Amino acid sequence: MGNDAYLGEIVQLGFSFAPLSFAICSGRKLKIAQNSKLFALFGTVYGGDGRHEFGLPDLRVRSATGAHRPFTRVGKSGGYADKIVHKSALPTHTHEATFIPDDSQTRARVRAATALATDARSDGMPIAPPRPGVEASGTPGFIPADQAEPTVMLGGMTGGGGAAKGHVELKNSGEGRKMWFRSPYLVINFAVCLSGPFPSHS
């Protein structure tokens, strides 16, 4: 294998070790002084300071893709195996909403008697006082049975009320887990040739 592979060539292996003159593509650093020819090919594309050392490609838990300028270049890495999707990327959806009323009550107090009324309009002791804005003349609000009209406000009645209060509670959905994006895969080893013919441009 070493006699056939070019220096810097990457091959795929079906076994778990790198053969002679090869190294697993694990991203480890090599000394430039001892690997000057390979450094001339790789430079610092795969890491290293470019003065004392340079890096090998790291293909652990990664898939290789073809270079195509200007979108991708040799040595560029990217992508992710899993990711939490932001809410702006989710499809339109609804959440369950619940109205929760406040713990309040509306109360009213009414004073009344069971005895039959005997007062007439002219006695000056009406059961009901004049209704503001309704009986402008000040006529008492008592209506005898033989002069039945619409109902009136009873004297001595007090009460109150108000609008129902509360709040609307929106239930959260989802658990914030990461989504797994990796395609079906088969694990093999990638190895790079450290010693071989220096490739020439075609």
H-state helical runs in 12-77 = 36-42
Quick one: pLDDT band at residue 106, thresholds 50, 70, 90? Answer: low
Q: Give percent of the chain above pLDDT 90.
A: 35
* 6: DSSP letter: P
Q: Considering the entire predicted model, what is its pTM?
A: 0.54
Q: Give percent of the chain above pLDDT 70.
A: 65
Q: What is the pLDDT of residue 142?
A: 57
- Contact present, 111 and 96 (Cβ < 8 Å): no
- Contact present, 12 and 47 (Cβ < 8 Å): no
Whole-angstrom distance, CA of residue 16 vs CA of residue 60 = 13
Condensed to tens digits (0 to 9), the pLDDT of residues 4-54 reads 899 999 999 999 999 999 999 999 999 999 999 999 999 999 999 999 999
Report the Cα 175 to chain-centroid distance in Å. Answer: 9
